[in-house]
């Protein structure tokens, strides 16, 4: 059969190109433009070259924010991925409890981010918050406003509470796609519970877990609203993550040039790390395909 | 290896079954001899997979017992029953090599490494998998994967029975033939009891010495392939086996004559004591000839299908459709009449075959 070939078909994808151009590429180019110039009032621009980038990459402040951000994402992934998988394994597979569990699990995901921050801000207060008050009453000296450790623990627990459901639901979907025959065959082969997890469940969940890791990495790396509401980046700068720092630089100090340079670097770091995660996690598969061909 | 006995076995997925229709599997008694090749044949939903899962221990029956060599295993968990099962879709451990897949059941049972290796090589040889032993199992084709599933059952020397649940569903038609033949050979070589569930009559007939035909949760006939064809014990068996299936026509029996509508056909035997119920006669399309004359049923031919080796005439007599297989090069007569071979006509009451009077009237 002859496939019809017609160059006019490009017109059909034109709207998408235009949309992407106006919503993503043009704004990004504006940022690039700002990042290589110094601006003053009355729309005066002066060429700055790579100055802002050089300054940024040498700045102690950026290094610290980046370090905090990497540490935060690492903690989040190390807790949420195993915990989400564990929860998915415990979730019911049939009966009326399935829909109930799904709804309950989805609830935290439906709450707006600033509300999550506010909930935990009140929850953790020593005078009126259920958590803060209780901890203080049982003799623990808990104060997320003054204590760096307490602030970190609160933000991590808040994020785990908010987002572990997502990992659990994805892992659950992966588990549900495993046909019963696999479990039956494992029984017949005399496999242990651990073998079933390692040899059947984990390999079959792999693809959804890759998505879960990427989503949780990108989201946690860009976290802004919840810590902004909860701690405002404090105490001191101890919970000032990259996006909070960026907003301070751009809107607080109105240093548009340095802020633009930081945005570009921030974006490239996320892109790079996501690529690394994806490549490492799918390496096995590529080898397999390469070997088969 | 083991003989398998099903003793008043029945199963319902409902907690309190009362009517017969509540049962996925109606009470049955069967003994399968050690080393036999059996097929469970029936349409989807007839209870054959339920029966298979009861034997393997994946489903606990609500009534009756399962015995392996006289030992009651009804409540014994799957992993202690020493059975192997090959499922509809190949089940392999993706992350392992073929050799590791085959070794897995032995490793779980704590065998020595040298012994495992020897067994794995022996089975790989038998299944033609030697060249693939060190490849990742996930890379193989569907038929090779099914062989691995089977191999994991064969590798254990104590396997009591090997159960197949429509194992060729995902295999390409050409390979199906080959695998089926290999299975048959394998059965002769290893001599284990094998039970093969399928809805494909060709598969059942080529694989099994004895075919168990199931219909609506019950066993309707157990027999050799030739018996199922020549003397179907139930009209369902007649329909289901053979292509096209048996012609079944409502009739009234009088001596050695069956009246159908306004015409009649001859029978080979007397049926003096017919049970009450709906009486029908059944005759295979292969056992009817189209002739001219006064004998048989006057039919109108609606269509002739030429399927290569034979032709099938689709005919109508009054309100009944009758299929007739025409041998090659036979002209179709004008004003044809369908004349069955008298001793191949069976009489059925409410679907079940009626035995003719003990004194058979052969000349």
- What are the boundaries of each domain within chain A? 60-281
Tokens of B125: 């040889």
Q: Does A126 or A268 have the greater pLDDT score?
A: A268
**Top-level class of domain A60-281:** mainly alpha
Distances (CA, A) of A90 to A85, A95, A169, A245: 9, 14, 12, 39
For chain B, give percent helix, strand, coil, nearest 5. Answer: 30, 30, 40
Per-residue model confidence (pLDDT) at position B1: 58
In whole angstroms, give the CA distance from residue B111 to residue B123.
Answer: 16
- Which of A113-122, A182-191, B172-181 has the least mean pLDDT? B172-181
- Which of A29-43, A162-176, A254-268 has the least mean pLDDT? A29-43
Q: With contact defined as beta carbons under 8 Å apart, do B244 and B231 qualify?
A: no
Q: Which chain A residues are within 8 Å of B155, Cβ to Cβ?
A: none
Asked whether the predicted pLDDT for residue A43 surpasses 90, the reply is no
Helix A202-221 to helix A60-90 angle, to the nearest 10 degrees? 150
- For A154, half-sphere exposure in the C-beta direction (CA atoms, 13 angstrom radius) is 37
Q: Which residue of chain A has the CA closest to B79?
A: A188
What string of DSSP letters covers B304-333? EEE-SS-EEEEEEETTEEEEEEEPTTPPPP
Among B239, B237, B269, residue whose Cα is nearest residue B253: B269
In whole angstroms, give the CA distance from residue A209 to residue A194.
Answer: 18
pLDDT bucket at A1, cuts 50 / 70 / 90: low
B105:A291 CB<8 A: no
A188:B109 CB<8 A: no
Per-residue model confidence (pLDDT) at position B362: 42
Q: What is the pLDDT of residues A63-111, one digit of tens each?
A: 999 999 999 999 999 999 999 999 999 999 888 999 999 999 999 999 9
Q: Where are the alpha helices (DSSP H) in chain A?
A: 10-20, 26-35, 51-58, 60-90, 97-110, 113-123, 130-137, 148-176, 180-188, 193-195, 202-221, 225-230, 242-247, 256-292
Q: With contact defined as beta carbons under 8 Å apart, do B101 and B152 qualify?
A: yes
Determine the topology of domain B4-235 in CATH: Rossmann fold (3.40.50)
CA of B174, closest CA in chain A: separation in Å? 23
In whole angstroms, give the CA distance from residue B346 to residue B228.
Answer: 13
pLDDT of chain B, 363 residues: tens digit per residue: 578 888 888 888 888 877 777 888 888 888 888 888 999 998 888 888 888 888 888 888 888 888 888 888 888 888 888 888 888 888 999 888 899 999 998 998 888 888 898 989 988 888 888 888 888 888 888 888 888 988 888 888 888 888 998 888 888 888 888 888 888 888 888 888 899 999 888 888 888 889 999 988 888 899 998 888 889 999 999 988 888 889 999 988 888 888 888 888 888 888 877 888 888 999 999 999 888 888 888 888 888 888 877 888 899 888 889 999 988 777 788 888 888 888 889 999 888 888 876 554 443
Question: Is the Cα dihedral A118, A119, A123, A128 positive or negative?
Answer: positive
A291:B88 CB<8 A: no
Q: Give the DSSP H/E element, type plus range, for residue B39.
A: strand B37-41
* Contacts A–B by Cβ distance under 8 A: 55
Which residue in B58, B78, B139 is closest to A288 by CB distance? Answer: B139
ipTM of the complex: 0.75
Among A13, A74, A99, A123, residue whose Cα is nearest residue A221: A74
Per-residue model confidence (pLDDT) at position A285: 65
In whole angstroms, give the CA distance from residue B248 to residue B275.
Answer: 18
CA of A187, closest CA in chain B: separation in Å? 6
Among B188, B228, B193, residue whose Cα is nearest residue B212: B228
Q: What angle do CA A129, A131, A135 make, to 5 degrees?
A: 115
Q: With contact defined as beta carbons under 8 Å apart, do B53 and B59 qualify?
A: yes
Tokens of B66: 């399962």
In whole angstroms, give the CA distance from residue B108 to residue B123.
Answer: 17
Per-residue model confidence (pLDDT) at position A209: 92
- Name the residue ranges covered by the structural domains of chain B: 4-235, 247-353
Per-residue model confidence (pLDDT) at position A286: 58
A187:B88 CB<8 A: no
B136:A185 CB<8 A: no
For residue B141, the tally of other CB atoms under 10 A from its CB is 12
In whole angstroms, give the CA distance from residue A164 to residue A83.
Answer: 7
B85:A185 CB<8 A: yes
Over range A206-215, report the average pLDDT. Answer: 91
Which residues of B fall below an 8 Å CB-CB distance to A? 56, 58, 77-79, 83-85, 87-89, 91, 93-96, 104-105, 108-109, 136, 138-139, 149, 152-153
In whole angstroms, give the CA distance from residue B154 to residue B138.
Answer: 20
Supply φ then ψ for residue B300, to 5 degrees: -115, 125
Q: Which residue of chain A has the CA closest to B155?
A: A189
Per-residue model confidence (pLDDT) at position A71: 95
Q: Which chain B residues are within 8 Å of A195, Cβ to Cβ?
A: 108
DSSP state of B285: G
A199:B78 CB<8 A: no
Provide CATH code, domain B247-353.
2.40.50.140
pLDDT bucket at A287, cuts 50 / 70 / 90: low
Which residue in A179, A190, A288 is closest to B136 by CB distance? Answer: A288
Going by DSSP bridges, is the β-strand pair B83-86/B161-165 parallel, antiparallel, or unpaired?
parallel
Asked whether the predicted pLDDT for residue A293 surpasses 50, the reply is no
B25 in helix, strand or coil? strand
B83:A291 CB<8 A: no
CA of B285, closest CA in chain A: separation in Å? 40
């Amino acid at each position: 059969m002859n496939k019809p070939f017609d160059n006019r078909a490009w017109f059909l994808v034109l709207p998408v190109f235009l949309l992407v151009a106006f919503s993503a590429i043009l704004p990004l180019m504006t940022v690039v433009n700002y990042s290589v110039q110094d601006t003053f009032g009355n729309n005066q621009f002066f060429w700055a070259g790579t100055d802002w980038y050089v300054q940024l990459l040498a700045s102690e402040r950026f290094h610290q924010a980046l370090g905090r951000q990497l540490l935060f994402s690492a903690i989040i992934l190390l807790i949420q991925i195993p915990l989400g998988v564990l929860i998915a394994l415990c979730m019911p597979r049939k009966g009326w409890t399935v829909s109930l569990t799904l709804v309950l699990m989805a609830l935290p995901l439906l709450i707006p981010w600033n509300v999550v921050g506010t909930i935990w801000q009140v929850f953790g207060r020593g005078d009126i918050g259920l958590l803060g008050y209780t901890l203080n009453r049982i003799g623990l000296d808990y104060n997320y406003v003054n204590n760096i450790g307490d602030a970190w623990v609160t933000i991590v627990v808040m994020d785990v509470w908010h987002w572990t459901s997502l990992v659990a639901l994805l892992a659950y979907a992966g588990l549900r796609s495993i046909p019963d025959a696999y479990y039956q065959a494992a029984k017949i082969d005399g496999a242990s519970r651990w073998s079933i997890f390692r040899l059947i469940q984990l390999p079959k969940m792999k693809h959804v877990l890759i998505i879960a890791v990427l989503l949780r990495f990108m989201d946690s790396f860009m976290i802004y609203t919840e810590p902004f509401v909860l701690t405002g980046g404090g105490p001191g700068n101890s919970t000032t993550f990259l996006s909070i720092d960026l907003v301070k630089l751009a809107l607080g100090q109105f240093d548009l040039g340095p802020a633009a340079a930081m945005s570009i670097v921030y974006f490239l770091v996320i892109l790079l790390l996501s690529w690394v995660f994806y490549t490492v996690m799918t390496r096995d598969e590529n080898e397999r395909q390469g070997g088969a061909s | 290896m083991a003989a398998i006995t099903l003793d008043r076995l029945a199963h319902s997925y409902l907690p309190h079954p009362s009517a017969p229709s509540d049962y996925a599997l109606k009470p049955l008694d069967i003994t399968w001899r050690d080393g036999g090749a059996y097929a469970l044949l029936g349409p989807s939903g007839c209870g054959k997979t339920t029966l298979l899962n009861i034997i393997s221990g994946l489903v606990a029956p609500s009534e009756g017992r399962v015995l392996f060599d006289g030992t009651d295993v009804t409540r014994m968990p799957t992993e202690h029953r020493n059975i192997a099962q090959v499922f509809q879709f190949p089940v392999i451990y993706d992350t392992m090599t073929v050799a590791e897949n085959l070794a897995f059941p032995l490793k779980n049972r704590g065998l020595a490494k040298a012994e495992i290796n020897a067994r794995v090589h022996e089975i790989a040889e038998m299944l033609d998998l030697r060249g693939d032993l060190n490849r990742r199992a996930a890379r193989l084709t569907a038929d090779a994967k099914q062989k691995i599933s089977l191999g994991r059952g064969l590798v254990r020397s104590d396997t009591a029975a090997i159960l197949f649940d429509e194992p060729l569903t995902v295999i390409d038609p050409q390979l199906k033939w080959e695998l089926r033949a290999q299975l048959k050979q394998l059965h002769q070589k290893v001599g284990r009891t094998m039970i093969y569930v399928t809805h494909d009559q060709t598969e059942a007939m080529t694989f099994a010495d004895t075919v168990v035909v199931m219909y609506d949760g019950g066993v309707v006939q157990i027999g050799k392939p030739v018996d199922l064809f020549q003397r179907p014990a139930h009209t369902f068996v007649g329909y289901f086996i053979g292509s096209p299936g048996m012609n079944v026509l409502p009739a009234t029996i009088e001596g050695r004559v069956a009246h159908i509508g306004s015409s009649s056909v001859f029978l080979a035997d007397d049926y003096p004591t017919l049970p009450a119920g709906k009486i029908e006669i059944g005759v295979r399309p292969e056992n009817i000839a189209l002739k001219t004359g006064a004998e048989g049923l006057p039919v109108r031919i609606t269509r002739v299908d030429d399927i290569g080796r034979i032709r099938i005439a689709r005919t109508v007599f009054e309100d009944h459709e009758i299929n007739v297989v025409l041998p090659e090069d036979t002209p179709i007569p004008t004003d044809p009449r369908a004349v069955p071979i008298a001793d191949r006509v069976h009489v059925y009451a409410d679907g079940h075959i009626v035995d003719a009077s003990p004194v058979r009237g052969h000349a």
